[in-house]
Amino acid sequence: MNRFGKTVRILGLDPGLRHTGWGLIQVCGHHLTPVAQGTIHTDSKLSLAERLNTLYQGLSEVIQTHHPDEAVVEETFVNANPASALKLGMARGVVLLAPASYTIPVFEYSANKIKKSVVGVGHADKTQVLIMVQRLLPTLQTELKTDAADALAAAICHAHHRTLTEFTHLKVS
């Protein structure tokens, strides 16, 4: 239990049509513990609808297995290729929908804010994010891939910002 009343499980999500990373952390006060992480892969030979369904089903399984209290999704940047941007937007919609369909509050942060929260630099590359996530969560039990590292980084970012939000809303009697 943390000083605000409970331990919180935060599911970080890094949307992508080919690879959607996910990472779950448990927050107790200022202590972060990794719970699970992985990547949902879709088959590029399937139709767009089938790939989106694969994402939804995979995320539903993660949610039903791990019971997160909150979810956080990385906002996407604008892509120069309109077709790619549209497909990524559809995948992102599914990633936002999955936790919301289980009445889990969903928060969003820009990629720069997530990177700055974890690495200290808003334009860090994927390798830097992965290394810092491993340092911030030294008890990770499995090999960390970049998509899952990005998702865990989003969860860590939210853990830092939600603590500040809780503290500023704490009422003194």
Tell me, yes or no, whether 82 lies in a domain.
yes
- Segment 148-172 shows an average pLDDT of 74
User: 61: Cβ–Cβ under 8 A, 6 or more apart, which residues?
Assistant: none
Model pLDDT, residue 167:
44
DSSP line for the chain: --TTSS-EEEEEEE--SSEEEEEEEEEETTEEEEEEEEEEE--TTS-HHHHHHHHHHHHHHHHHHH--SEEEEEPPPPPSSHHHHHHHHHHHHHHHHHHHTTT--EEEE-HHHHHHHHTS-TT--HHHHHHHHHHH-TT--SPPPHHHHHHHHHHHHHHHHHHHHHHHHPPP-
Tell me, yes or no, whether 25 lies in a domain.
yes
Give the CATH number for residue 79: 3.30.420.10
Model pLDDT, residue 168:
42
User: 60: Cβ–Cβ under 8 A, 6 or more apart, which residues?
Assistant: 98, 101, 102
Tell me, yes or no, whether 155 lies in a domain.
yes
Model pLDDT, residue 105:
97
- Segment 54-65 shows an average pLDDT of 98
Active-site amino acid positions = 14, 74, 147
Tell me, yes or no, whether 150 lies in a domain.
yes
Orientation angle between helical segments 48-66 and 82-100, nearest 10 degrees = 30
Model pLDDT, residue 5:
53
The whole domain housing 142 covers 8-169
Tell me, yes or no, whether 139 lies in a domain.
yes
State how many domains the chain has: 1
- Measured in Å, how far apart are the chain's first and last C-alpha atoms? 21
- pLDDT class of 170 with cuts at 50, 70, 90: very low
- Segment 80-105 shows an average pLDDT of 92
Apex 41 CA angle, 38 and 47, nearest 5 = 155
- pLDDT class of 2 with cuts at 50, 70, 90: very low
Q: What is the pTM of this model?
A: 0.89
Q: Say if residue 82's pLDDT is above 90.
A: no
Tell me, yes or no, whether 1 lies in a domain.
no
Apex 161 CA angle, 140 and 64, nearest 5 = 55
Q: Say if residue 50's pLDDT is above 50.
A: yes
- pLDDT class of 138 with cuts at 50, 70, 90: confident
Which range among 13-17, 69-73, 75-79, 85-89 shows the weakest confidence by mean pLDDT? 75-79
42 φ, ψ (degrees, to nearest 5)? -115, 155
Tell me, yes or no, whether 154 lies in a domain.
yes
Tell me, yes or no, whether 156 lies in a domain.
yes
Model pLDDT, residue 79:
67
- Average pLDDT of the chain is 88
